[in-house]
Amino acid sequence: MPGFQLPATSAAVVAHAAGDLRVEDVPVPTPASDESVVEVAFGGICGSDLHYWLHGAAGESILRAPMVLGHEIVGTVLHAAADGTGPAAGTPVAVHPATPAPGAARYPADRPNLSPGCTYLGSAARYPHTDGAFSRYATLPARMLRPLPAGLSLRTAALAEPASVAWHAVARAGDVSGKTAW
């Protein structure tokens, strides 16, 4: 975007330990040539976000340092990747939060989550942790950005990931007509 001025810091939701959640300014990284800057509009709160806040861990992923939460986010591209990959500035996007591990090529390209060692935004599975994107501005790899269809609001798009998890569960369960879940 012409005249774009990268802010030095951004307000973010940071988990420090069990029960210690803070809104604080964090640095906004200067984007690499294949990264974009997104102004985050909405984020869905995942169970892992709640576990990091309430328990300081999500399963075996234990907070060992402060970490920005959030991986279910939508927003608008403010600064497009300099190398031309990814959506143009001004494009509303949803974020696919996974980064495939080395050797992920043996897994389907549309299922990087299946590669062992895959990382996610807002995850303490490795150290140093992978910061999430519950921040005003997020510098993200352009490959993570998915342009939204015309007419789909950012607010509605924020529900895409949690809704898709439910649809996937029902699809795997088979016919659920007349059944209940407890």
Taking only the tens place, the pLDDT of each residue in 77-101 is 999 999 999 999 999 999 999 887 7
Residue ranges making up the domain that contains 152 = 9-173
In-domain check, residue 79? yes
In a domain, 149, yes or no: yes
pLDDT of residue 182: 73
User: What are phi and psi for residue 101, nearest 5 degrees?
Assistant: -80, 160
Report if residue 164 sits inside a domain. yes
The most distant pair of C-alpha atoms in the chain lies apart, rounded to whole Å, by 57
Find all residues with CB under 8 Å of 14, minimum gap 6, and list them: 21, 22, 23, 24, 26, 66, 67, 68, 69
Which CATH number do you get for residue 89? Answer: 3.90.180.10
Is residue 4 in a domain?
no
Which pLDDT score, from 0 to 100, does residue 179 have?
A: 86
Across the strands, what pairs with 141?
A: 35
**Predicted model pTM:** 0.88
Q: Is 178 helix (H, G, I), strand (E, B) or coil?
A: coil
The C-alpha atoms of residue 24 and residue 22 are separated, in whole angstroms, by 6
DSSP symbol at 125: S
In this prediction, residue 80 carries a pLDDT of: 97
pLDDT at res. 113: 67
Tell me whether residue 178 is in a domain. no
Residue 52 lies in a domain: yes
- Regions of the chain with pLDDT less than 50: 1
CB atoms within 10 A of CB 72: 25
Q: Say if 181 falls within a structural domain.
A: no
What was the pLDDT predicted at 3?
A: 64
DSSP-based three-state secondary structure for 15: strand
pLDDT at 103: 65
Whole-number pLDDT of residue 147? 98
Is residue 159 included in any domain, yes or no? yes
Tally of structural domains, the chain: 1
